[in-house]
Amino acid sequence: MSDILLHQESARLTITFNRPDRKNALTHDMYLVLVRALDEACASEDVRVVVIQGHEHIFTAGNDIEDFLAHPPLDEEAPVFRFLTALSTFPKPVVASVCGPAVGIGASMLLHCDLVVAGDNAAFSLPFVNLGLSPEGASSLLLPQLMGYHRACEALLLGDPFMAEAALEVGFVNKVVVPSQANDAAQAWAKRLEAKPMNALIQTKALLKSKQGEACSASMKAEVVLFAQLMSEGASKEAFKAFLEKRKPDFSKF
């Protein structure tokens, strides 16, 4: 069975992360599928809304570390960055349903979704610094705008996770429900959206994003350059080595 499930019902395309045995960790090949799905949905008149979801106990643990090291994302053409660009510029409504851990890109991608429903078991974390890396997906720009500078520092400098209710409080998500209702709640929103006039939705979304569009793109480009630079440094190598060896990293020399 595919690690990414694509299902279209009416004018709704649902994208499901489907690798529960690996905590829905995302790989190079999975990003390629996601990019293609978004590109085709963008071009298709038969798709009016996209829903992104995981499972009741896990959204995604972020990048699959072994696959990430085998295919290091060193420029904008890396599939992970192509996915973030495709999502951030996607013109139609995107609804996300998030239950359980949403780690790294699992959290930063939500900044580019339009409506997010969270299960009350959702836990969001952006542990880039803990891996010797910098943020991606324009999260260094968008998270302080959304949460305020000091809470963004908790998330990005300390790497502290924040739970569903805290995410609701700062506007990171729109609604919190019990996990068994999250995907249904996202589909209910998607059904409402698909019944609305498409061009009005697209133009309204464009207006909502217009003031941050160029800044967002510039931020993502700058983050890619720094991310690639940090990937080659000792701190990130120590972090990943420690992760694979299941021990605490030693950053005393970095």
Domain positions in the chain are 1-179+198-254
Class of domain 1-179+198-254: alpha beta
The predicted pLDDT at position 19 comes to: 98
As to burial, measured by CB atoms within 10 angstroms (0-12 exposed, 13-18 middle, 19+ buried), residue 166 is middle
From residue 233, give the alpha-carbon distance in Å to each of 134, 183, 240.
12, 40, 11
Measure the CA–CA gap between 173 and 146, rounded to whole angstroms.
Answer: 11
The predicted pLDDT at position 1 comes to: 73
The predicted pLDDT at position 213 comes to: 86
Do residues 35 and 6 make contact, with C-beta atoms less than 8 angstroms apart? no
Contacts of 115 (CB under 8 A, 6+ apart): 93, 94, 95, 96, 174, 186, 189
Tens-of-pLDDT digits for all 254 residues of the chain? 799 999 999 999 999 999 999 999 999 999 999 999 999 999 999 999 999 999 999 999 999 999 999 999 999 999 999 999 999 999 999 999 999 999 999 999 999 999 999 999 999 999 999 999 999 999 999 999 999 999 999 999 999 999 999 999 999 999 999 999 999 999 999 999 999 999 999 999 999 999 888 899 999 999 999 999 999 999 999 999 999 999 999 999 99
Read off the pTM: 0.96
Q: How far is CA 70 from the centre of its chain?
A: 21
